[in-house]
Structure 1
Amino acid sequence: MEQRNAAECLEMILRKVSPKASEVFQGQLRHTTKCKSKKHIINEETNPFWTLPLSLKDTDGTLYDVESSFQRTFQKEDLKGNNVYCKECQKKTDATKECEMVEDPQILTLLLKRFDFDYNTTSIVKSDCFVKVPRELQTKKKTYSLYGVVDHMGSLSGGHYTATILSDEDQNWYEFDDDRVRKAQEPPNSSQTAYLLMYRGRITDI
């Protein structure tokens, strides 16, 4: 009898089903920090994930490009100011930070972080910005095609979720709204309500 958002509900389900079922949604991300001068590895961690969060901050009311944000997740970032200590250099130094998807999930789920903490108001707020929903996403190993969208309508105090899913059987889209299911149009190219975007992957020949 507790209120949860769709991402929390998905992860709760994946923890309870069989490991073979949940691993379809699981990938691995490796985060690496290196000193910039000698390329020494300062820190490296590899962790599993079920959903990949994308921040919607700093959109300024413009159309948010999901594909560009997804690609930026894996771009190298400079850490300037000599604030990172390198044991091999034995000093603080400039560094680089990089995220790599070392294991691509079969089902890639992007979490659009519409709910975030606003430090100005010291409260959690919802972003209703429009997002550009790509039909395909590309990684080094796989091409992903959109097959499911979870939408959130409403506010933090009261809202409603629906899901629109592409059927494998007849290749039509269907909307699931509580216990009601109806044939639907393909999800729009831009959306003000999309919360989870789900992509099915296929191996890319490189």
Structure 2
Amino acid sequence: MSPRFITLEGGEGVGKSTQLRALADAIRVQGHSVVTTREPGGSPGAEAIRSLLMTGDKDRWSSRAEALLFAAARADHVEKTIRPALDRGDWVLCDRFIDSTRAYQGGAGGLSDTEILALHTIGCGGLMPDRTFVLTLDLDQAAARAETRDGGKADRFALQTAQYHRSVAKAFLDMAGASPDRIRLISAAGSQEAVTERLMAGLSDLL
């Protein structure tokens, strides 16, 4: 059984964390060993950087500084967690990866894709997922979900403007259009079980 690297992407409040757990369980039923992880984070060094990125005022860091911090965290995450798991033959499911940097610091933050991917080449050898699912949801509905999830304790990115989040959503759509073999759009509307079924259908060629 070949190891696979699968990422879940999307804006705030679309249910990535919930679906990551459900998808991992469904893949384990198929007989695969699965490691779940997240970004920023997923290794001790990356978790330390996460606290810098996610807390404080929404203008604490510029987009360029954020991209550098994410790249450092991702380099440690890949070295300490993702590559070892893939080398063991595990499937790796990750809540966010390089495409989030491309959408947030790129599409919404103004950095070029070339700059972001250059950092990714330096830090992670250009590692890309075998399949990326972008969960999509009406922005107002997603914002309401995020508010319920955060309970008044939103992180820096959830606190950004509506225009910022629209730019993030557009960037994800543009990436999916440019890389349809890797990136699949999955509606996050409806029940949790229905969304998981859509994700599993999108993995049928890899299972």
Q: TM-score, normalised by structure 2?
A: 0.34
* Greater length-normalized contact order (CA 8 Å, ≥ 6 residues apart): 2
Q: TM-score, normalised by structure 1?
A: 0.34
Structure 1 or 2, whichever has the larger Rg, is 1
